[in-house]
Structure 1
Amino acid sequence: MRYAKCIIIPDDEGLHPVDKRIADHPDVDRELLHNVNLLDDESIVTIYQFSGDRTALEPILQDSSMVCKYQLSGVDDVIHAYIHVKPYDKLVGLLSMLKKFEFIFDTPLEFTRRGGLCVTMIGDVQSFQNAIPDVPDGIRLKLLKTGSYEPNTDRLYSQLTDRQQEILRTAVDMGYYSVPRAVTHDDIGTELGCTGGTVGGHLRKIESKLLSQIVP
């Protein structure tokens, strides 16, 4: 098996009108896309992970004629959303291309700071080459790297946001999890240019997210 890691970069209209409206809201951040499926009627089912204000997100979903149904869950400012949306040619074209060439996503997919979607597609070399002409208009693929695919233990780590990964790496490197503990939240905050309280809040969310998936 081979993989291609790339960034899906949509034009200014976005991948889907609902996704675009959410992306444009200042109080909601798209973090991860845990699943996306194209149904037989060309409607699309997604499972998002957002951060931010749930009361800002819900009116977008309630008011959009492109939303068939949705459900929200989560704690604090982490929001998980099941969203079933109506067909939209650009996204249908992209998902149809991936289905045609039998690609598999290594989930979750991560939204970049510039609004793209970082994906790892698993398939064979010939499929990657043949798929390029089928990329729909309004979407650009930026290839990051390719190689032989081997499942690994990065899946939990990949569920963290870029900022959470940065804070966790810094905490580990500075000795926060050493015994005895070598640094404080304030020390890490000084290194990262933020407050110790911000570091502590992020680390609690990181630990909650990772440990809840490890402990049976």
Structure 2
Amino acid sequence: MRYAKCIIIPDDAGLHPVDRRIANRPDVSRELLHNVNLLADESIVTIYQFSGDRGTLESILEESPMVHKYQLSGVDDAIHAYMHVEADDRLVSLLSMLKKFEFIFDTPMEFMRRGGLRVTVIGDVQSFQEAIPDVPDGIRLKLLKTGSYEPATDRLFSQLTDRQQEILQTAVDMGYYDVPRAVTHDDIGDELGCTGGTVGGHLRKIESTLLSQIVP
């Protein structure tokens, strides 16, 4: 079993008109896409994770004629949204391609700061090669790496935002989690160009996210 880690890059701000409206609002951030399914009528159901202003997000979903229904829930700073939206040709084509070649998304998928969606697709080598010509117009794929699929570590790490991954990787590399501890929050902040307080806040959120997935 193989995986391909890549970034899906739409020519505009999002993969779907509703996604684009949210992407264009500075007070709401798309963080993770926990699931996306193409239904028999070619409508789409998704589970997003957002951060930012809940009222703005509700207004967008209420006003969009393409949203059939939605539900929001939140814990701390995260807003989780279940959405059932009307079909969009480009996204339908992308999901149909994945179904045709029997690919599986390893979730969650992470939204990048510049608008792409970082995904891990599981399948076989031949299918990856055959699928490239079927990528729909208006979407580019940037391949990051391929390899044998091992789910546990990548799944946990992918739940962190791009910035959180950078801070955690730097903390580990500099020896923050060594015994005895080799560096302080301020040392890591100096390396990353931010304050020690910012580093400490991010590490607490990172540890909360990862430990809640490990401890039963």
Alpha-carbon distance in 2 for matches of 1:124, 1:185:
42
Task: Output the CA distance in 2 between the equivalents of 1:116 and 1:187.
Answer: 31
Q: Shift of the alpha carbon at 1:171? A: 2.4
Partner Cα separation in structure 1 for residue 178 and residue 150 of structure 2: 30
**Corresponding residue number in structure 2 for 1:121:** 121
**Structure 2 Cα separation of the partners of residues 157 and 197 of structure 1:** 22
Instruction: Give yes or no for contact 1:53–1:77 (8 Å, CA) kept in 2.
Output: no
CA RMSD of the aligned region, Å? 1.8
The alignment's TM-score, normalised by the length of structure 1, stands at 0.91
1:147-186 to structure 2, matched below 5 A, reads 147-186=147-186
SS in 2 for 1:153: helix
Post-superposition Cα deviations, 1:144-167, rounded to whole Å, max 9, x if no partner, equal: 222333334221111101111111
Instruction: Give unpaired runs (5+ residues) of structure 1.
Output: none
Aligned to 2:107: 107
Q: State how far apart, in whole Å, the 2-side matches of 1:214 and 1:51 are.
A: 23
User: C-alpha separation between the residues in 2 aligned to 1:189 and 1:142?
Assistant: 30
Which region of structure 1 is more displaced relative to structure 2, 118-127 or 173-182? 173-182
Aligned counterparts, 1:55-204, within 5 A: 55-204=55-204
Q: Which moved more, 1:139-148 or 1:84-93?
A: 139-148
- Is the 2:52–2:77 Cα contact (8 Å) retained in structure 1? yes
Cα 1:128–1:163 shift into 2, 3 Å: same
* Whole-Å separation in 2 of the counterparts to 1:51 and 1:201: 16
Q: Distance in 2 between matches of 1:104 and 1:63?
A: 32
**Percent identity between the two aligned chains:** 86
Distance 1:180 1:145, change over 3 A: closer
Equivalent residue of 1:106, what SS? strand
- 1:90 Cα shift? 0.6
Q: Secondary structure at the match of 1:167?
A: helix
> How many residue pairs are counted as aligned between the two chains?
216
**Cα shift at 1:180:** 4.2
Residue identity opposite 1:37 in structure 2: N
How far does the alpha carbon of each residue in 1:12-32 deviate from its partner, in whole angstroms, 9 at most, with x for none? Answer: 263101100111111122121
